Chain A
């Protein structure tokens, strides 16, 4: 196992992921996940209390695709974008097929009229499949530092 290569691959995945969201290429977002994936947005309070509910709770890539279709076709909201800043990654555990990685992020929300502010801060707790190139997420737990969400959450974090 080439640890440097794994680190670079993981870094690329995490950077490409937020770039995809921030540049509004949301149709590509589900491709960062394996087919049988889990993507859950929760809060530190819920996570530490062991509560399973997610503000967003996806248990397959299909559910991620549906999120994007709903956002584009059905849901009504004021246009806005995010700018994610992800801190250095920490590889907590790695074997030949899976890496367990955590990173910190903040997401600034920029409304269509230019109004902007901090929307979310938190941790990504990832399990990443190393068996494909590029790497893909098996699980991404988005643990928000606050249990408060301003107005609504429609674009994935």
Chain B
């Protein structure tokens, strides 16, 4: 093992040049956490901001975060979506407190500074003083104190933001395969069916890796095997963009045969655990391509999920070294009929904080985090399926995790 870089490097040293050894300290080191905020979340990456459908009208805004940084995304009078930091240029006060709303302008409650919906400073209370006393010096220029803007990209109804001008444009950032994967799922106007936040007792990267970890699925999540579902899974694999930063894991299912098989097996007495009500898995091939599972990640913190007919965006939000908020935005589509909505709601039991095939992901990161406490001097290994971060036609692999670390190391300079 050779340590790279030496003195000029910040953050946790890496054991090798390869992608297969992950130093445990990346999950426990406070300096590393700060480095990530600066170089990843505020680096040349893109983060999820909101759904375009949440801010349809002029003045609509959503207050969110990119990493830990508070950000406002707002639609202005021309219909354009703008994003800027949620921090008054004057004394740094939080401008928007509520998650969502509609305003004519953004105004600071502390000293009354106001901004337009593009983040430009438009008003300073008592700028000329009171009774010609006080006020700003004559050199003060409002246009030098606008809110720091983010670049904004709207894609398939989702709004993304980036702090950096040198980030590739959003579609180039994704690459054609990942862009295609998003368009496949969000192929028509979506609507929100529900929203919840799962608070994870672990570093954000443990969840980010988990979503790229196709190895653990049938081992940690026993629901499908216990109830003998999904025995007819067909081909699947891992797709990645050229950088390896983003991935798609997918598998196909013969929906019709599954339905017949499940009903038939239910009649046999040898099967001990069968669902009493199988509507939780009764699904339709709504995309017509047989793909029943597509987990797609966009580095660093976005997951787009299609599991049968459950569609969700998951946003990974770091909240300190050992705490992560995972926001679940459950989606349906404007053209869903009542039966389709009901189907999505019932299958919704599969995912989320109480999800039959996802709840374990809520605790597993916390178990790792606990095990690493003052015991983090070694490295974990991710060698399943080889050493590279390349697409693979099978899923017993850690290739997508290696892709995450490849990008992570490039951005953090490790």
**Which chain A residues have a beta carbon within 8 Å of chain B's beta carbons?**
41-43, 45-46, 51-63, 65-67, 69-70, 73-78, 147-154
Contacts and interface: CB of A to CB of B under 8 A. Distances in A.
B193 interface: yes
Interface stretch (B20-28, B177-185, B273-281, B391-399): B273-281
Contacts of B366: 151
Contacts of A60: 276-277, 279
B363 interface: yes
A51 B193 contact: yes
B199 A56 contact: no
Interface of B: 192-201, 220, 222-223, 225-227, 273, 275-277, 279-280, 325, 330, 341-342, 345-346, 348-349, 352-354, 356, 359-360, 362-363, 366
B276 A151 contact: no
B346 A46 contact: no
Nearest to B353: A149
Contact of B275 (A59, A66, A76): A66
A51 B194 contact: yes
Top 7 closest pairs, chain A to chain B, by CB: A53-B194, A62-B277, A62-B276, A152-B362, A74-B226, A153-B354, A53-B193
B345 A52 contact: yes
26 contacts: A45-B195, A46-B195, A52-B345, A53-B345, A54-B194, A55-B354, A57-B346, A59-B342, A62-B277, A66-B227, A67-B349, A70-B356, A73-B273, A74-B225, A75-B223, A77-B359, A77-B360, A147-B195, A148-B197, A148-B198, A149-B196, A149-B198, A149-B353, A151-B200, A153-B353, A154-B359
Contacts of A53: 193-195, 330, 345, 348
A56 B345 CA distance: 9
Nearest to A151: B362
Contact of A151 (B277, B356, B363): B363
A56 B225 CA distance: 21
A153 B222 CA distance: 16
B197 A147 contact: yes
Contacts of A54: 194, 345, 348
A46 B328 CA distance: 12
Contacts of B200: 151
Contacts of B227: 66, 69-70, 74
B148 to A, nearest CB: 28
A45 B346 CA distance: 20
Given A55-B352, A74-B273, 10 more contacts: A43-B196, A53-B348, A55-B196, A57-B346, A60-B279, A67-B349, A78-B363, A150-B199, A152-B360, A152-B363
B279 A56 contact: no
A137 to B, nearest CB: 17
A148 to B, nearest CB: 5
B194 A149 contact: no
A42 B194 contact: yes
A75 B195 contact: no
Contacts of B353: 55, 149, 151-153
A154 B220 contact: no
Contacts of B325: 148
